[in-house]
Amino acid sequence: MILRLAFATLTRRRARTALTTAGVAVAAAMLLDMVMLGSGMRESFRGFIEQQGFQLRVTPRGTMPFDSEATVGGGTALVAALRADPDVAAVGPILGGKLFTVVDSGAPVAGFLLGIDPAAQGDYVLEAGRDLASPDELVVSAAWLAATGRRLGDMVRVAAGYDAQLRRFEGARAVRVVGRGRFQMLAGGERAAAIPLATAQAMGGVARRDRLSVILVATRPGADVERVRQRLEAQDPRLSVLSTEAALRFVDERLGYFRQLAFILASVSLAVGFLLVTTLVTVSVNERLGEIAVMRAIGIARGRIVAQVMLEGVALSVVGAVAGLGLGLVTARWLNGILATFPGLPSAFDFFRFEPVAAFRSLGLLVVCGIAAGLWPAWRAATLPIARTLREEAVA
Write the pLDDT tens digit of every residue in 316-351: 778 888 888 888 888 878 877 766 666 555 655 667
Parse the chain into domains and list their residue ranges: 2-49+254-395, 62-237
For residues 56-83, give the mean pLDDT.
Answer: 82
Between 339 and 129, the more confident residue is 129
Q: Which residues contact 228 (CB under 8 A, 6 or more apart)?
A: 56, 85, 87, 88, 217, 219
Cα pseudo-dihedral 138, 144, 146, 149, rounded to 10: -50
Closest CA to 155 of 131, 142, 168, 174: 174
Supply the pLDDT for residue 179. Answer: 92
Do the beta carbons of residue 147 and residue 122 sit within 8 Å?
no
Closest CA to 308 of 287, 276, 281: 281
> 65-79, 148-162, 169-183, 295-309 — which is least confidently predicted?
295-309
Supply the pLDDT for residue 325. Answer: 82
CA–CA gap between residue 159 and residue 189 (Å, rounded): 20
Q: DSSP assignment of 245-288, as one string?
A: HHHHHHHHHHTHHHHHHHHHHHHHHHHHHHHHHHHHHHHHHHHT
For residues 125-131, give the mean pLDDT.
Answer: 88
Give percent of the chain above pLDDT 70: 80
Which stretches of 20-72 are assigned E, i.e. beta strand? 56-60
The amino acid at residue 77 is A
Q: Give tens-digit pLDDT for 252-288.
A: 676 667 777 777 877 888 888 888 888 877 877 777 7
Between 343 and 247, the more confident residue is 247
Q: How far is CA 354 from the centre of its chain?
A: 9
Q: Give me the chain's average pLDDT, please.
A: 79
Q: Give the pLDDT band of residue 167 (cuts 50, 70, 90).
A: confident
Supply the pLDDT for residue 389. Answer: 65
Is the dihedral angle over the CA atoms 143, 144, 148, 152 positive or is it negative? Answer: negative
Between 218 and 396, the more confident residue is 218
Supply the pLDDT for residue 396. Answer: 57
Backbone angles phi, psi at 350, to 5 degrees: -120, 130
